[in-house]
Amino acid sequence: MEISREKLIENIKALSEKSVLVVGDLALDEMIYGDTERISREAPVLILRHTYTKYILGGASNAANNASSINSGKVSVIGVIGDDYHGADIKKAFQDAGISCKYIVEAKGRKTITKSRISGSCSHSITQQIVRIDSQSDEPLPTNVEKQILKNLELAVPEHDAIILSDYHIGTLTQKVIDKAIKLANKYKKIIVVDAQKDLDNYKNITSMTPNLPDTQKHVGRRLETRDDFVVAGKYLISDSKAKFVLITCGGDGMMLVSPKESYHIPVFNKSKVFDVTGAGDTVTAVYTLALAAGAEPVYAAIIGNIAASIVIREFGCATTNIDTIIKYIPAKIKID
């Protein structure tokens, strides 16, 4: 298929015009750094002298952060945080990123989803992660919290051009929340894209979904190797979800966009030594959704998401990009089949 560079640039510039609502498992990555001093006398463990702590938006929050880096002030989130000190930390991180958190629900006694990574270094070594501590509540959402999320969806969906359902399966996206979000999106004719790791058949009548290869293979119950395999799997997902089209992300092998009548393989652009793929899927989903909301054809939206992902994997942790950088990294030649 011939890809117009001018049309691609036009679609990318239009990304900043649209607003996005991200609904899902809001998480905070707490990065704690220190310098190694000595071994403790109490136990055979390192003693670190704390240098600084950095907060990064993770989980569904990362999808919102990626969207906000492109259209700051036009992104909102719906999810649950706890009444703990990390709840205040994640709110501040959202505010610093230009993301509205007025639709967040605070649940008493519930833990804010937090992944704390403690890393250390000395003068003659690189910084290395020593331990990671995960904090989250595994209990189902309290009925009153779920009801508040449903009310907030009624208020928020009409105000936004697109909705992303980002499901890390930590409890926010109950079936009632999923069904309500989709019903409202369709009622108000909004783009709605799903990024879920499993239970893909929980989502019906959506615009698109962006499963990765392992999750797609689990869902269809077979390995995908040939192009025909991907097309069959994509159509299977479309049949299950009633989606208009599906974007299967395949890491170093690119992406496969499948609709009922067409399919396109989109290769990896700007190949380089990968630093960190953490959060790259969130980048694809956020940028792809923005592009669809801005009126880009699905294949152009997928290409834009692909380019954005090729940029963020060059940095460690959950990184973001912006319109000027995406345009800068448009390949000289774009060939898809």
Q: How do 162-167 and 20-24 pair as beta strands?
A: parallel
Read off φ and ψ for residue 116, nearest 5 degrees: -95, 120
What's the CA angle centered on 253, arms 251 and 258, to 5 degrees? 95
Q: Using the CB atoms, write b or e for 177-197: b if 16+ within 10 Å.
A: bbebbbebbeeeebbbbbbbe
Residue carrying the six token digits 């492109």:
70
Distance CA 282, CA 64 (A): 8
CA dihedral for 287, 292, 293, 295, sign (positive or negative): positive
Q: Across the strands, what pairs with 75? A: 20, 99
Cβ pair 191, 162 in contact under 8 A: yes
CA dihedral for 68, 72, 74, 75, sign (positive or negative): positive
Reference 154, options 130, 179, 181; nearest CA is 181
Distance CA 132, CA 204 (A): 36
Distance CA 275, CA 37 (A): 28
Distance CA 150, CA 42 (A): 50
Query: 104: Cβ–Cβ under 8 A, 6 or more apart, which residues?
Result: 26, 77, 78, 79, 80, 81, 91, 94
**Which tokens go with 296?**
């880009």
Q: Is 282 a catalytic residue?
A: yes
Distance CA 92, CA 129 (A): 25
Selecting among 240, 276, 282, 337, the annotated active-site residue is: 282
Distance CA 248, CA 196 (A): 12
- Residue numbers annotated as active site: 282
